[in-house]
Amino acid sequence: MTYFFETYGCQMNTAESAALRLVLGERGWSAAPTGESADLVVLNTCSVRKTAEQRVWGRLAQYGALKKKRPFTLVVAGCMASRLGAGLKEKIWAVDYVMGTGARSLFPRILESVEQGRSPEELCAEITEEKPVFAFSASHLEEGQFRSFIPIMHGCNNFCSYCIVPVVRGREVSRSPASIRQEIRLLADRGVREITLLGQNVNSYTWAGEDKKLDFPGLLELVAEVTENSPIQWVRFLSANPKDLSSKAIRVMAAYPVFCRHLHLCVQHGSNAMLRAMNRRYTREQYLALVAEIRDAMPGITFSTDILVGFPGETEGDLEETLTLMEEVRFLYAYMYHYNLREGTAAFTLPNRIDEGVKRKRLARVIELQRRHRLELLKARIGSREKVLIEGISRKNADELITRTERDEMVVVSGKPSLIGSFAEVTLGSLRGTTFRAQELFVQRS
């Protein structure tokens, strides 16, 4: 039997889709090239932004039309499934199973039901009274990949007023250190070169099991210890909340070169009034002091961030404070978007909503400033010699390889596909847009 996945949204969804594919592989299923030919189609969905849900609704309509022509099983998983629950099946007749983020333990039973040719109604009747509990998968490795995500915690306790994550993912749950250690060792045995620790609020990780107690800095030390002298040479983590990133964690990062000199540190806004309205629980001044502390500990580190404009009540003065914060920090890149309503969040009922045209104009100013900063930062790096991880073949030229520095800069260089997954050294040359061009590639031998 065959399957096809469509994954929307964050890296956590990507990791969870990989874990579900491992379950399918263990049961003898094989991947189909497209959803149009698969026996099982899984849409792993996102609810963080309205546009992500709109894309899913469009795909569900297409699969509904396809289902009138041939039989197959359609599963909607992830955050949208958690938010809408059984209402999804009521709206879209073609959906067979709705599997929220806390219900992945039901996936093997869904597969067994499909394999046996049972109707979805039979299984749904059996599990009506069951309340699945979130559990971490043992592995999230994509077959044949040299990079992997490792979820270390799930959910969020912050309840930022614009954010649906606590509603669809629930409260924070941390993964056991033993399980994390076991997955890292498995990945090292498989030749993985880079790992990324994942969590909705990754640096709020805390473990209080009977065997030991561990906070996020302690976990970083554990990761550094387990990866020492292994094929895993780079470690990243996403996403860090400024209010929870401690001085101790910064010292650990600085002490171990395995931690990449790049950090995604979500700021969302530069105005204290807006940060309060968003319930971010830190100030502009605290954020800037944190950036300065990190740069002092790790000179040359680059930052990326999220920026949200057009939140209810935002003034032109608030926007200017965001622009001046950007000028001070100078992010390598940023995910920039304007506010849209998310039912179920505290901000849904706020007054003083900003006109859509005004939001778009403000966002355009933020985007333009960020483009200028990115280009200036990249130009200043020309001539530097850097270690890179070779990620794949360039889409624009089959004779070129696409690589990435630990600072999260993209570099294109001529080379053979057999080098993919290797570390190398390059000298950053001219820029092609926002991607460096390097002339020579010096491969690091294992």
Domain with CATH 3.40.50.12160 in the chain: 2-126
Instruction: For residue 407, give the DSSP letter.
Output: T
Mean pLDDT across the chain: 93
Q: What are phi and psi of 389, to 5 degrees?
A: -105, 125
Domain with CATH 3.80.30.20 in the chain: 147-379
User: In sequence order, what are the residues at sequence separation of 6 or more whose Cβ sits closer than 8 angstroms to the Cβ of residue 261?
Assistant: 298, 300, 301, 302, 406, 407
* Confidence band for 313, pLDDT divided at 50, 70 and 90: very high
For 300, what's the count of Cα atoms within 13 Å in the CB-facing half-sphere? 12
Q: What is the pLDDT of residue 3?
A: 97
Query: What is the CATH number assigned to the segment(s) 2-126?
Result: 3.40.50.12160
User: Which structure tokens are listed for 201?
Assistant: 């609020």
Report the distance separating Cα 408 and Cα 390, nearest Å: 12
Return the residue matching tokens 């080379």: 415
- C-alpha pair distances (Å), 382 with each of 379, 403, 430, 438: 6, 16, 7, 10
Mean pLDDT, residues 242-267? 98
Tell me if 234 sits within 8 A of 406, measured CB to CB: yes
Q: What are phi and psi of 309, to 5 degrees?
A: -115, 165
112 vs 127, which has greater pLDDT?
112
Q: What are phi and psi of 12, to 5 degrees?
A: -65, -40
Report the distance separating Cα 414 and Cα 124, nearest Å: 54
Residue 446 has pLDDT above 60, yes or no: no
- C-alpha pair distances (Å), 141 with each of 10, 54, 103: 16, 29, 20
C-alpha R_g of the chain: 23
Give the predicted TM-score (pTM) of the model.
0.92
Mean pLDDT, residues 117-133? 76
CA geometry: angle 384, 389, 395, nearest 5 deg:
100
Report the distance separating Cα 445 and Cα 163, nearest Å: 45
- C-alpha pair distances (Å), 45 with each of 12, 42, 124: 11, 9, 20
Query: 21-25, 208-212, 357-361, 394-398 — which is least confidently predicted?
Result: 208-212
User: In sequence order, what are the residues at sequence separation of 6 or more whose Cβ sits closer than 8 angstroms to the Cβ of residue 364?
Assistant: none
**Fold of the CATH domain 385-443:** OB fold (Dihydrolipoamide Acetyltransferase, E2P) (2.40.50)
- C-alpha pair distances (Å), 346 with each of 48, 161, 167, 342, 351: 14, 5, 11, 9, 11
Mean pLDDT, residues 144-167? 93
Return the residue matching tokens 């039997």: 1
User: In sequence order, what are the residues at sequence separation of 6 or more whose Cβ sits closer than 8 angstroms to the Cβ of residue 345?
Assistant: 161, 162, 163, 164, 167
- Cα 55 to its chain centre, rounded Å, is 18
Instruction: For residue 227, give the DSSP letter.
Output: H
Report the distance separating Cα 178 and Cα 185, nearest Å: 11
* Confidence band for 132, pLDDT divided at 50, 70 and 90: low
Q: What CATH number does domain 147-379 carry, 3.40.50.300, 3.50.50.60, 3.80.30.20, 1.10.10.10?
A: 3.80.30.20
- Cα 387 to its chain centre, rounded Å, is 24
Domain with CATH 2.40.50.140 in the chain: 385-443
Start-to-end CA span in the chain (Å):
39
Q: What is the pLDDT of residue 2?
A: 97
Q: Is the peptide bond before 239 cis (omega within 30 degrees of 0)?
A: yes
